[in-house]
A and B are shown apart, each in its own frame.
Chain A
Amino acid sequence: MTAALDHLAPAAPTRRFRLADPSMILWIVMIAILVFLIASPMVRLVVSSFQDPETGRLTIANYIEAYGRARHLQALWNTLVFGSGVAVLACLFGVPLAWAISRTDMPAKGFIRLMVFGAFIIPPYLGAIGWILLAGPNAGWLNKVWIALTGADHGIFNVYSMTGLIVVVAVTSFPYVFVFTSGALDLVSSEMEDAANILGAGTIRTTFRITLPLVLPAIVGGLIISFLEAIALFGAPALIALPARFQVVSTQLWQFFEYPVRVEQAAAYAMPLLLITIFMFWLQRTLLGRRGYTTVSGKGGERRVTRLGPWRWVMLGYALFVCALSVFLPMLVLTQAAFAKAWGRGFSLDNLSLQNFRYLLFEQTQAQQAIINTFVYSGITAFAAIGLSLAIAYVVTRKLVPWSNVLAFLCMAPFVIPGIVLAIGFYAAYAPPPLALYGTGTILVLAYTTRFLPIAYTSSAAGMRSVNPEMEEAVRILGGGRLTAIRRVLAPLLKRNLAGAWILVFIPAARELSSAIFLVGPNTRVISVMLFDLSEEGNFEVLSALGMILLVTTLVIAAIGFKAIGRDFMVRNA
């Protein structure tokens, strides 16, 4: 707040001049958009949780109804177990890989890094389908192999269980931990490690006592993100938890949307998710605040590679094991199913078929449209999120308006809102008249833009801080307006940065399910929702084919991005 007050004072004398500046209008518009996108749906959500559905009067009946059943409380507990399990497992996968790639002489680093990126683009519900094919208790490939090898009468893996769900989600969310940890490891210099070595500590002792504690805040950050991502997921739990006979908060929320639709109860039931998330972020800030080691300065020092000797092959084995769980195995069976007449018939030539693709592209009345919608909406979303966040980041870093920190906070706020909760807020606020956006592409783009604004803002703000204002001041001294300065100076300087951010928004938007599920109409369906509808019937061959179309198209677009801006953008921007 003091920062906001500080710049308020010098701003006062020039205020009249500022208002005359046409760009000022733009800033006001941006702020209005931010309120429209974030504050309004959230306020609406909280308010409706206290409203009587019929009369609109203040009540706590929704809370009593939402928490009055043992089953609903059980779902809440299940969610906590699920989220914690995923977070811990994601660390066990992500941290060793990050350390190995950043600090050791493990072979095939580039390949492993690429596979981690692969894990990042596979949507959790698609991973879940892959794992249903792999670890279905009787028909899953892994169990079939096990039975064939041991002669046992039943398999050993059961994807339809809490453990199954945790593993399936952890293998798609460990890249968060990986990115956070390797980002920090790349900044820690080896001086401290050298000191420990000189004092007689071995490699293992140094790693556990020096290196890892130094990057602990980053690990905790990754842990928290995996936890939050997991508890907000809808698709993977819907596929796995139902046959496993348990509910989590997101699947329970879905039930409130069954007839009769109880948006108010859903809002009440969503509150713990929101509170847990806010608490987690507070926790992370507190931890980071206390543990701000100055060693992570980003400057100086050299980062030396730890020689693992023969252990480097063990490390590579572990990395390949993680890649197998997250990419090789699920992709292998999904590909097989996509090109199979019936996936259960196995890998044989007479089982090969293009029928699933043919069905989707030529016989299904919705698939073509859904494919086009998916990429159009995510493309527009990426542009909208970056445009908005860049403008806000500009206002905030140049302190153009008072209270600009509030804007920064608003931009980051959607981070704490699970997708399904955001969708409920959007539905309550913008589906009915006067805006009546239900069933339009606009409401999806708005919801996506809100949901991924924090990613775009983080990149934009980082980029903006790196640009010295002197260059635009030069433009303005020479008579150019602020908008000219942005267009001719700032935008070219930030081009690479923004392209990276574009991809980082585009990928999750293309696969987004939980915020789309309550907002799509028949003409605005996206691949993720169509996959969800198809999954009701368990038609895995067509599902896999549609999943392949999503993945391949995403990969092609990401590859174009890689070519344009260099491969390590994912690490630099995160």
Chain B
Amino acid sequence: MSLSRRDILKSGSALALGTALGTHGARARDMTAREKELYELARKEGEVTWYTAHSNDTTAQALGRDFEAAFPGIKANVVRTTAQVAYQRLTQEQRAGAMQVDVFSSTDIGHYVALKEKNLLEKYAPDNANKLIEVYKNYDPDGFFTVTSAGLIGISYNTEKLKEADAPKNWPDLLDAKWKDKIALGHPGFSGYVGTWVVSLKKLYGWDFFEKLAKNNPQIGRSINDTVTMLNAGERIVAGSGPNGTAMESAAKGNPLAMIYPPDGSVLIIAPSGIPKGVKHPNAAKLFMEYLLTPEASKIWVEHFNESMRPEVKPLGGAKSAADVKTIRPSVEEITKGIPEVIKQWRDTFGV
């Protein structure tokens, strides 16, 4: 692919108008009444800043661009980072009394529980939340946060270096000494996905599992998506915390990757979004919350191999989704209490 004149013109107009022209045609669906009402108000605010850990950068940017196309005149600032870093920035802003974020999308549900307790979240129950797949509905009956994305964690491996028959089948297989120096992991101190994964596996097998895993000298990155890079590069062969979405997206691009869904259960991550108190663009924030729950957003999620939020958007063929495999997930309380705890344990066991 190369840069064409059209691209350059496009970027010029994108800069000038704050919206990407050309690639997006007419919208397939009319705005809902709530969306229309919010759009009128949000247009005056002109922009929305989204801190997201829900997906990798590519997916997050695609959602931001699609939002801009759906609601012309509102610029989306998409800042993708790991859950704990996003939360760090949010608390820093609250402490300084200078809110930059409008919509906060972490993958650590404990963040919302803590923010809600301290009365730091704006109450907003999106209209579109009633149209979600049943399991994602009504996570917070008080309407301070809403589930906006979900994804699976299994085991991924490099198919060039490892035959399917030899790959680990279940989580405890990762403890086998033959995987010494071959495993890649993310870090619960950064990634909310990895944090929830650690809490789940600790519940299944006890902390002993991680003591033994440490003996296999895994390579520890930060984001859960880093494990996919390590596999593609051939630096490591097995991702102990393998993100289904990023791995399958990468496999679809031709990288030698495959997923294993452990019989003890793939970890299902249910990740909410919320609007912190005192944001600068409250209406744009509400509109963005609505947008994340539209079929259009779900279409982008499934194109990038994340879970669909809406029943009418089906997963693409080839990749498995949460409905096809056995899943496990800790309760909200277990996550809220568990993640800060396992971060400390992790640092003692793995040294970083």
Contacts and interface: CB of A to CB of B under 8 A. Distances in A.
Contacts, number: 166
Interface in A521-540: 521-523, 525, 533-540
A136 B87 CA distance: 31
Contact of A242 (B76, B100, B220): B220
A243 interface: yes
A259 B91 contact: yes
Interface of A: 71, 136-139, 160, 241-243, 245-247, 255, 257-261, 263, 342-344, 353-355, 357-359, 361-366, 368, 427, 431-433, 436-439, 518, 521-523, 525, 533-540, 542
Given A365-B61, A365-B78, A533-B80, 11 more contacts: A257-B88, A358-B2, A358-B3, A366-B79, A431-B98, A436-B98, A523-B100, A534-B57, A536-B190, A537-B229, A538-B230
A539 B205 CA distance: 32
B233 A139 contact: yes
Contact of A522 (B1, B49, B96): B49
B88 A259 contact: yes
B225 A246 contact: no
B57 A365 contact: no
B315 interface: no
B100 A521 contact: yes
A546 to B, nearest CB: 12
B119 interface: no
B88 A261 contact: yes
B223 A247 contact: no
A427 B226 contact: no
Contact of A245 (B14, B76, B350): B350
B96 A537 contact: no
B251 to A, nearest CB: 12
18 contacts: A71-B347, A243-B219, A246-B351, A247-B351, A255-B189, A259-B91, A261-B95, A365-B77, A427-B96, A436-B96, A438-B93, A438-B97, A521-B93, A522-B101, A533-B79, A535-B222, A538-B225, A540-B233
A533 B81 contact: yes
Interface of B: 1-3, 7, 10-11, 14-15, 20, 49, 51, 56-58, 61-62, 64-65, 68, 75-82, 84-85, 87-88, 91-93, 95-98, 100-101, 111, 114, 181, 187, 189-190, 219-223, 225-226, 228-230, 232-236, 255, 347-348, 350-352
A242 B352 contact: yes
Contacts of B222: 242, 535-536
A539 B57 contact: yes
Nearest to B82: A536
Contacts of A71: 347-348, 351
B80 A247 contact: no
A436 B225 contact: no
Contacts of B189: 255, 258
A158 B181 CA distance: 12
A432 B219 contact: no
A536 B225 CA distance: 8
Contact of B351 (A138, A245, A357): A245
B151 to A, nearest CB: 14
Contacts of A137: 181, 235
B221 A242 contact: yes
Contacts of A241: 352
Contacts of B190: 536
Contact of B352 (A247, A263, A357): A247
B79 A522 contact: yes
Nearest to A247: B352
A380 B348 CA distance: 45
A534 B85 CA distance: 12
A260 B14 CA distance: 38
A248 B323 CA distance: 44
B100 A537 contact: no
B57 A364 contact: yes
A539 B221 CA distance: 12
Contacts of A366: 77-79
Given A261-B95, A358-B1, A365-B61, A245 B352 contact: yes
A333 to B, nearest CB: 12
A447 to B, nearest CB: 14
B245 to A, nearest CB: 12
A354 B92 contact: no
Contacts of B100: 438-439, 521-523
Contacts of B1: 353-355, 358
Contacts of A361: 3, 7, 11
Contacts of A247: 351-352
Contacts of A534: 57
Given A355-B1, A522-B101, A539-B229, A259 B57 contact: no
